[in-house]
A and B are shown apart, each in its own frame.
Chain A
Amino acid sequence: MVMIRVPAPLRPYTGGAKEVQVQGQTVATALADLSLRHPDLRPHLFDDRGELRPFVNLFLNEEDIRSLQGTATPVAEGDRLMIVPSIAGGRPDQPALPRVDHAALRTNQAVIIGSLIGAFIADSGWLVALVGAIMALGSLLGVAGFLPIYRLLRAAGIFKPDVLPDHPEPHRFAQALGAAFLLAGSLALGLGVPAAGWALTWIVIGLAALNLFGGLCVGCLVYYWLSRLGAPWFTKTPPAGARPGRRPPAPSDSPR
């Protein structure tokens, strides 16, 4: 007879017994006899294919059977076999983050700021509407509205890409928010309410500047707030190690 010590979480399946006497010539046959005596224990020790579950560790007289002959290790009368769980788990796997070129975003912000200030100086509601429409189109396509300008500058070697693992959705949302402000603003300008029209335009200029110079994307921040409130469609959480609305860490920045 071999004595098997059962860990506390599995004792409900052995009628509360801490130790069970079993028959067997090897660890495998001793475990088979144990599962025969206590069938409810079996699914917690073995998987569907009859393999030992990865968290089940077996110690024969205080020696790990992996350093002996595994489950083929012979057992003798009076041996003591201990079942010891290793505890493990963790959060769900996150699919690898997509890549977002932050240089394209910054170019977009710079062009938005420049053309809106130009629109204000020229007193052109049409230009505000045009910038808003380009941003809205970019949001629909899931890219920065002024991406073609960035591509030209990059092709000319003026800008280097700044590609980071990041969620594109919050940036897309931020741009859509800006587009909504500008389209509402141009409508106000068209309806003869310049104070409201220019106020909305300057809010967009201010937030784009805060992003370009201050590195804070307020639209992204709003996205992550909505995500935390469980709003539908707002499913992404900030990349690990990143503060919401802030530039995510480059892969090499990750703490060791």
Chain B
Amino acid sequence: MTLYASQSLLEQIHALGEAAYPEEGAGLLYGEIRGDDRLATGVRPLPNSVEEDGRRRRYRIAPQEMIAAEMEAEHQGLEVIGVFHSHPDHPAVASETDREWALPWYSYLITSVREGRAAESRSWRLTDDRSMMIEEAVSVAQEARW
């Protein structure tokens, strides 16, 4: 259970989290699937549709955006493999809210942004019985490869 990504893609995700600070930034991960592993090859940043007051601790991506994203990914021969979002001034650990709203199978890449700077990213997946989010390995290389 590993999420593979290139250094530059991870930097792009970190920059998006920093740009959204002190609010939460979010988007979708595009990529390829191989067994239980994924290779993230692209991101689609998405507007946070939570009302202004809640954006510091919540994000939401509207279903219409999901439909458009799935079509875009399909068009590129890719799949939506997961979601990335930032936790401003909080650890990169999946929260209770993350678990409640999570879909199985997706990789949830969480970036901790402290004082406006991305500190670390960790990835999580929901278990089949929805009881918990378990961490998956993130493998970062110079280029996007398995």
Contacts and interface: CB of A to CB of B under 8 A. Distances in A.
B63 interface: yes
B89 A9 contact: no
Nearest to B79: A8
A160 interface: no
B18 interface: no
A89 interface: yes
B89 A240 contact: yes
Interface stretch (A71-79, A90-98, A169-177): A90-98
Nearest to B82: A9
B105 A8 contact: yes
Contacts of A121: none
Contacts, number: 107
A89 B59 contact: yes
A255 B60 CA distance: 20
B76 interface: no
Interface of A: 7-13, 40, 43-44, 54-55, 57, 59, 64, 82, 84-94, 237-238, 240-241, 243-244, 255-256
B130 A89 contact: no
Given A8-B70, A43-B130, A87 B60 contact: yes
A82 B70 CA distance: 13
B121 to A, nearest CB: 14
A232 B101 CA distance: 31
A75 B63 CA distance: 21
Contacts of B90: 91-92, 237
B87 interface: yes
Contact of B104 (A44, A88, A243, A244): A44
